[in-house]
Amino acid sequence: MQAPTEQIPMHFVQRLPAYPTSNVARQCFVHHPTCIESFQQGYPRLSAFMNSDRDFVTFRYFGRLHARILLQKQDEIIELEERLDELDRNEATAHFHRSRRHDRNTIRQDILREAERKLEDYNKLLHSYYEHIERPKPERMKTQSVCNWMNGNKPLIQPESTFLNDFDDLSTPNERTDQGGLDRVLEKYAYSLRKNGPRKQFFSALDDSSKSNDRHVLLLSPSRIHAVSRFLTTALAVLTLTVPIVVLYVVHAMTSRLCIISLFTALFSSALSWLTHSRNYEIFSATAAYCAVMVVFVGNIPGGPS
């Protein structure tokens, strides 16, 4: 017979702290990225520069060489397929075609094993090639930025710097899903606008050049760019709804109201396609809904103020 378990009073139960306390001072961690110029000239500095911003990540994907190797492997597999078909046609024992377990033709088994190995390599390379061609081509401005840095710093010898010669064979990371046209505009004009008058302080808030001491290198904080873009996009969304409502209420003539609805609907559709990564049917649906809201509003307001 098992003795009953003694219940421990709750006031004797003490929860242990999440981290043991000690008299040692707690270490303070501060974000302090390593400067690009602190790395040795050459591949160490070039790799640090490319890793400093996703816009600088640019590599060749060797599309022509991928296709050449795929064609080579494809023909090797075709050759194995033809050998297997010929072997099947000339098989003297028909029972071997009906049973894999009883098949005593070792040549056929060797061909199948070799074909499996080659198909595995072929499928991996084919999948990799399709992934590369689905990636967006690098923007000319971003590629030119890397070229400018390479020309100014010359980290590599000339024969090893030729990977940037063919812009069509370069591959960059996929665009962030939350990045729109306004983000790209802010990035494009940040350097020129921050030099001019009062706008300098505004764009200095977007600057994240702590990774480089080179005054020619401008690194922008993606989170700050995204925050400013979201703020401006929200303001624009509010304006596209409130401004036409006010204008439609003031205007009396129905023909003028219809023209105003058409104008603002076109502006809304253009902004949606430019600022977002919406698909065509999403832009069409949102535009139709926007136009319907405007039409319903016009149908419910009086002819105009007296």
For 171-201, how does the pLDDT look when each residue is reduced to its tens digit (9 = 90+)?
888 776 666 677 777 777 766 655 554 455 5
Distance CA 235, CA 275 (A): 13
171 bridge partner residues: 59
| pTM score of the predicted model | 0.64
- pLDDT attached to residue 179: 66
How much is the pLDDT for 36? 85
Q: What is the pLDDT of residue 229?
A: 79
pLDDT at 13: 46
Burial 88-100 (b: 16+ CB within 10 A, else e): eeeeeeeeeeeee
Write the DSSP string, 105-144.
-HHHHHHHHHHHHHHHHHHHHHHHHHHHHHSPPPPHHHHH
pLDDT value, residue 305: 42
Spans of the chain, pLDDT less than 50: 1-2, 8, 10-13, 16, 197-198, 304-306
